[in-house]
Amino acid sequence: MYISITGLKPKGIISFFRFWRLAIPSFAQAQSAEGILFSQVKRKGGYQCTLTAWESRDHMLAFMRSGVHLKAMKAFHQIATGRTYGYESDSIPTWDNAYTDLIEKGKVY
């Protein structure tokens, strides 16, 4: 299974509203995407975080490159900063472990 962890921070008050206008539909898209096994959001360490588990990395990439999530990715640098981290695993991490991995190993944007 492929684990994906993201942590995003809107850049300002206007960006905050644009962020949520894209984040809510993106999360709904993830919850019904082909190959999704687990999907949760949580505010942690000042980040709006998502933790998802997929049948495969290919399933995650298909989701990432489609629909409202693609639109959100194109707007990302205008509205937020953040980190992402993904890896293969046999189990879904706890939120504490996922957040530690995000901070220690995540790619910074």
What CATH code is carried by the domain that includes residue 46? 3.30.70.100
| pLDDT of amino acid 23 | 94
Total of domains in the chain:
1
* Predicted confidence pLDDT, tens digits, the chain (109 residues): 999 999 999 999 999 999 999 999 999 999 999 999 999 999 999 999 999 999 999 999 999 999 999 999 999 999 999 999 999 999 999 999 999 999 999 999 9
Q: Report d(CA 48, CA 41) in Å as an integer.
A: 7
Residue that is written with structure tokens 């492929």 in the block: 2
| pLDDT of amino acid 21 | 95
| pTM summary value | 0.93
- Domain housing 60: 2-108
Beta strands in 11-106 (DSSP E): 36-44, 47-54, 80-88
